[in-house]
C-alpha cells in the first residue's frame, strides 16, 4: 500500500513537473526536431529515440546516485561542476548535429549510399540519442526533486522504478511535440532550426564554461 502510494507520487510528480521538464529540454529538442525531415512517423521516431535515451540517462543517474548515496548529499560545487560538464557536452553535440545536418556525408556510410541511389536515406539515431541522454543527466529542478525522493527509498530497484514512473509522467507533456513533424520542411525551416541550434549551443557552452570556472552567471 505504501509502495503503491510512493509510485503514485512519482507519476503525479512527473505529471505536475512535466512543463518544467519540457521547458528545460525545449532548447535542445525543438530545434533538432525541426531540423529533421518532416512526417509524423519520422517525428515520432526522433522523439522516441530522444526520450528513450533521456530515460536511460535518468535510470543511470538514479542507480549510480542511489548506490553511492550522493544524490541528496551532493554539495553545490560538485553539482555545478557536473552540470557545467553536461552543458559543455550538450553544446558540443548540438554543434556537431547542426553541422552534420547540413553535410549529410558526415554521418553516412558511402557504401550504403551506393546501394540506395535515388532513395532518401534515413538519418541515424546517434544525434537524438546523445542529446536525449545528456538532457537526462542535466539535473533540472524537477529531476533533483525526484532524485531526493528516490534516495529515501529502500532499494535501488525501487529508486529506479520511482524514476521510471516519474519519467512516464513527464513524457505525457512531450507527446504534442510529435506534431512538429507535420511542419512542412523547406530550406527556411531547416536553416532556421540549425541556426537556432548553433545559438543555443553557444549559450550552453558559455553557461557550462562559467560553471566550470566557478563563475555565477546570475551574479548581477
* Residues in touch with another protein (CB under 8 A): 19, 22-24, 26-27, 30-31, 34, 187-188, 191-196, 199-200, 203, 206, 210, 215-220
Is the Cβ of residue 66 or residue 127 nearer to another protein in the bound state? 127
Is the Cβ of residue 30 or residue 42 nearer to another protein in the bound state? 30
Is the Cβ of residue 1 or residue 188 nearer to another protein in the bound state? 188
Asked if 150 and 6 touch (Cβ cutoff 8 Å), the reply is no
Nearest approach in angstroms of CB 30 to another protein is 6
Tell me the residue length of the chain: 220
Nearest approach in angstroms of CB 157 to another protein is 32
Nearest approach in angstroms of CB 40 to another protein is 21
Nearest approach in angstroms of CB 19 to another protein is 5
Is the Cβ of residue 35 or residue 150 nearer to another protein in the bound state? 35
Q: Tell the residue number behind the cell numbers 518544467, with chain if given.
A: 20
- Residue 185 CB: number of other CB atoms within 10 A? 16
Asked if 31 and 136 touch (Cβ cutoff 8 Å), the reply is no
Sequential DSSP letters for 33-88? HHTS--SHHHHHHHHHHHHHHHHHHHHHHHHHHHHHT-TTT--HHHHHHHHHHHHH
Nearest approach in angstroms of CB 144 to another protein is 15
- Residue 209 CB: number of other CB atoms within 10 A? 14
DSSP state of 109: -
Residues with Cβ within 8 Å of 216's Cβ and at least 6 positions away in sequence, in order, are 210
Q: Tell the residue number behind the cell numbers 544524490, with chain if given.
A: 71
Is the Cβ of residue 40 or residue 192 nearer to another protein in the bound state? 192
Nearest approach in angstroms of CB 21 to another protein is 10
Is the Cβ of residue 18 or residue 147 nearer to another protein in the bound state? 18
Amino acid at each position: 500500500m505504501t509502495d503503491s502510494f510512493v509510485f503514485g507520487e512519482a507519476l503525479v510528480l512527473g505529471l505536475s513537473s512535466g512543463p518544467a521538464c519540457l521547458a528545460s529540454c525545449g532548447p535542445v529538442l525543438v530545434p533538432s526536431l525541426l531540423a529533421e525531415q518532416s512526417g509524423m512517423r519520422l517525428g515520432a521516431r526522433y522523439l522516441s529515440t530522444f526520450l528513450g535515451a533521456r530515460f536511460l540517462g535518468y535510470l543511470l543517474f538514479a542507480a549510480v546516485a542511489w548506490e553511492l548515496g550522493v544524490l541528496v548529499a551532493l554539495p553545490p560545487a560538485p553539482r555545478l561542476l557536473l552540470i557545467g560538464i553536461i552543458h559543455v557536452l550538450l553544446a558540443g553535440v548540438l554543434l556537431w548535429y547542426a553541422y552534420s545536418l547540413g553535410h549529410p556525408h558526415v554521418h553516412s556510410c558511402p557504401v550504403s549510399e551506393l546501394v540506395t541511389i535515388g532513395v532518401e536515406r534515413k538519418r541515424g539515431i546517434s544525434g537524438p540519442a546523445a542529446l536525449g541522454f545528456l538532457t537526462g543527466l542535466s539535473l533540472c529542478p524537477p529531476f533533483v526533486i525526484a532524485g531526493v525522493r528516490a534516495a529515501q527509498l529502500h532499494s535501488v530497484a525501487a529508486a529506479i522504478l520511482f524514476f521510471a514512473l516519474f519519467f512516464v509522467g513527464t513524457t505525457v507533456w512531450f507527446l504534442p511535440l510529435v506534431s512538429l513533424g507535420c511542419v512542412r520542411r523547406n530550406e527556411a525551416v531547416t536553416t532556421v532550426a540549425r541556426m537556432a541550434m548553433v545559438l543555443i549551443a553557444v549559450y550552453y557552452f558559455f553557461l557550462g564554461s562559467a560553471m566550470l570556472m566557478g563563475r555565477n552567471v546570475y551574479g548581477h
